[in-house]
Amino acid sequence: MSNEAIGQLFNVRSHNPSYFSVKDNTSFRGEILDFCIPVNLHFPPPAMIEMIHGRLEEILRYYPDYSNVHAEHIGEMTALDPKTIVPCNGSTEIITRVCQETAGPILTSIPTFSRWTDLPEELRVPLYTIKRERCKHFQLCIEEIVTRVREVGARTLVVSNPNNPTGASLSIKEVIVLASQLEDLDCVVIDESFIDFSDIESAAQLAANSHNLVVVKSMGKSLGWHGVRLGFAVTNPKRAAKLQASLPFWNINGLAAYILKIITSFKKEFRESFERVAVDRIYMTKRLRTVAGLTVFPSAANFIFVELPEDIPGRGLRNRLLSRYGLMVRECSNKIGCSEQYFRLAVQRKEAVDVLVSALSAELSYGDVSRL
């Protein structure tokens, strides 16, 4: 498969092609190792999969439960009041509703998850940004966020915590200070889609008792199943009811609903899976730091943000890693505030990491960048 053909495959605005598109269209013969899509590789356990298989005909035949039942199951897992929970078809569903309901202006940091920047443009809602600086390891301080909010007259603030793609994060104490200083805003959104993989305390309980705070959470990443499309928001009961009323009546499919129903039986395995991901992240970080010329930034998530040497074109390296080694990586040039010099690498198991490190070491040591 030529670099041009791979480039066309990855020519997707703000995101990446699906794993299936890459697998079906690449000429690489062998297993595709996915460093592109951050997902929990240590969950679900086999026993949970067997339970689903055993009930699959019934799951697919009948309508799923209603939203209040899903909220109760999520509440059992999170110790949150179900009345503060809005189950959704992936976190992007609730992100869409938040953007549709705000008059703006919206302020968000960049780089970030692309829907937070694309949707305001599509909806013609004024959008302002605050740039995460490399020299600060992409960390933001509360003072600069608040100052920027006042400067642009934002009515909605969005902060991803941990940030996607950099892995930078705010502590719960910083989130509390931020929320207290922005009580006059219409909405303060904390996108916690990757927080389960970190040791950061969630702001969900804070949101449940706040008039303007909304916490957005993805479940597909944590469950290890992006394909089931699960997520939820947490906010005060009044706002939660309003958000729920704006969503489709059956927005959670039958398979996702059954997973919510049985996940409470696997709490121990669920918690332990994140500990195993953390071990993988530590190993992967150490190994990536052995690659000459590669800059590796600290991360609180299940992905690692890296910077390539200045003379290495990221798109070309991405294409070569796929065609020659079967490695699918996330090159970040289609994220606002980023460039092709940055990769976001999903945490993988040790064996896969060793393949990636070997490939990167070989490619970055050649010196002939024209081939990329």
| Average pLDDT over the chain, rounded to an integer | 93
pLDDT confidence of residue 104: 87
> Does position 27 have pLDDT exceeding 90, yes or no?
no
Q: Name the domain count of the chain.
A: 2
Please indicate, yes or no, whether residues 228 and 122 belong to a single structural domain of this protein: yes
Q: What percent of the chain has pLDDT over 70?
A: 95
Q: Are residues 297 and 216 in the same domain?
A: no
Domain membership of residue 234 (yes or no) is: yes
Same domain, 310 and 172: no
Same domain for 343 and 260? no
CA count, 13 A, side-chain hemisphere, 339: 8
Would you say residue 210 lies in a domain? Answer: yes
Over range 55-61, report the average pLDDT: 96
CATH number at residue 251: 3.40.640.10
pTM for the whole thing?
A: 0.93
Domain extent for 260: 62-264
Model pLDDT, residue 58: 96
The pLDDT-based confidence of 26 (bands split at 50, 70, 90) is confident
Q: Is residue 57 part of a domain?
A: no
pLDDT in tens, 303-327: 999 999 999 999 999 999 999 999 9
372 or 73, which is more confident = 73
Q: How confident is the model at residue 367 (pLDDT cuts 50, 70, 90)?
A: low
Residue 24 has pLDDT above 80, yes or no: no
User: Residue 6 and residue 372: Cα distance in Å, rounded?
Assistant: 12
Q: How confident is the model at residue 4 (pLDDT cuts 50, 70, 90)?
A: low
Q: What pLDDT score was predicted for residue 60?
A: 94
- Is residue 201 assigned to a domain? yes
> Are 341 and 253 members of one domain?
no
278 and 307 belong to one structural domain: yes
Find the CATH number of the domain harbouring 356: 3.90.1150.10
